Amino acid sequence: MDRFVFQLTFFTYIAATAGYFVNLITLRREVEKIATCILAGGLCLHTISIILRWTYGRHAPLVSFYDVFSFLAWSLCAAFLLFQAGHKLKALGAFVSPVITLFMILSLMHPNRILPLPPALQSFWLPVHASISIIAYALLTLSFCISIMYLIQEHHIKKKQLGGLFKRLPSLQVLDTMAEKCLKIGFPLLTLGIITGSIWAEQAWGAYWSWDPKETWSLITWLLYAALLHQRLTVGWRGRKSAYMTIIGYLTLLFTFIGVTYLLPGAHSYAT
């Protein structure tokens, strides 16, 4: 049942993505509104599928890759819709919805069976640590998307190519401010994710920090984002440099999130 709802969600997201692209090409406002409605509908379906899995498995569905990507897509979708409700950033949908769809595909590529929870993971901290970290990832994904938009727009203005996307993207300053806003919410959450993780580690393994590859890479990611925010707030870094840093930070984050599990196995591997 949850699988069916999940697949339905997937197709709804694809439809919304298509809608955002049509809006980007034709500039028809009503298409964007429809796409947003479809996306919101998808989010409802997605929520149902997650709740279903929770009731089937009797533990928060945040253990396998399937669940983690699913929850990431869910968080990104929710964060995007909340963000748009407040800011209505032009053309953002066309940049975020493909990423949501991509996370859904990554989720669908992994087996979806619900395994009994290994004893090490049976803790109150599992849903807290995992959900906070993933919501942080979602917000940093959003700032990544906005930074990509910034770089495209800034390229158009620098090179004086004022057709196509130039007309469709928001102004530089708005993009920069919005990327910063996402960073400012995402970074504290990332910090909180690491702190809750280390508290949990202390309870499960008896040490707050054991330099396992995932922990090391989390620290590297955290330092990168910390440096970026520091430069922004003190020296006034903004624009292109900041956008590049956001992208580098995000790529590191992706490596921490996915790459480490595949390439550098340790205590943090996801159940597959």
Partner 1 sequence: MPRRDASKDIILFGVNYKTAPVEVRERLALTRENRPVRFVFERLPSCQELVFLSTCNRVEVIAASSNARKTREEILEFWKGISDMGLNAIEGCCYDYSGVSAIRHVFRVASSLDSMVVGEPQILGQMKDAYRLSLEEGCSGQLLNKLMHKAFSVAKKIRTETRIASQAVSISYAAVALAKKIFGELGGKKAMLIGAGEMAEIAAQHLKTNGIGELVVANRTLERAVELSRTLGGKAISLEELDDALIGTDIVISSTGAPGVIIEKDRIKKIMRPRRHRLLFFIDIAVPRDIDPGVNDIDNVYLFDIDELKEVVEENKQERQKEAIKAERIIEAEVIKFQSWLKSLDVVPVIKGLQEKAESIRRRELERTMKSLRHLDEKDVLAVERLTRSLVGKLLHDPIIYLKKGADMEDREEVLYMISRLFALNGLGQTVSLEDYIENKARRGKRAVSSKGDC
Q: Does 263 bind partner 1 (CB under 8 A)?
A: no
Q: How far is the CB of 9 from partner 1 (least distance, A)?
A: 34
In the list 59, 184, 238, 268, the residue contacting partner 1 (rule: CB under 8 A) is: 238
Q: Does 26 bind partner 1 (CB under 8 A)?
A: no
Residue among 161 and 203 whose Cβ is closer to partner 1: 161
Q: Does 239 bind partner 1 (CB under 8 A)?
A: yes
Burial class (CB in 10 A: 0-12, 13-18, 19+), 257: buried
By CB under 8 A, the count of residues binding partner 1 is: 20
Residues paired with residue 64 on neighbouring β-strands, in sequence order: 271
Q: Does 59 bind partner 1 (CB under 8 A)?
A: no
Helices (H), the chain: 2-26, 29-57, 65-87, 92-108, 125-158, 165-168, 172-205, 213-234, 240-254, 260-263
Neighbours of 157 (CB within 10 A): 13
- DSSP letter at 161 equals -
In the list 81, 174, 226, 264, the residue contacting partner 1 (rule: CB under 8 A) is: 174
Q: Does 163 bind partner 1 (CB under 8 A)?
A: yes
Q: Does 208 bind partner 1 (CB under 8 A)?
A: no
Two structure tokens written together for 134 = 């993933």
- Site residues (vs partner 1, CB under 8 A): 27, 153, 157-158, 160, 162-163, 166, 170-174, 235-241
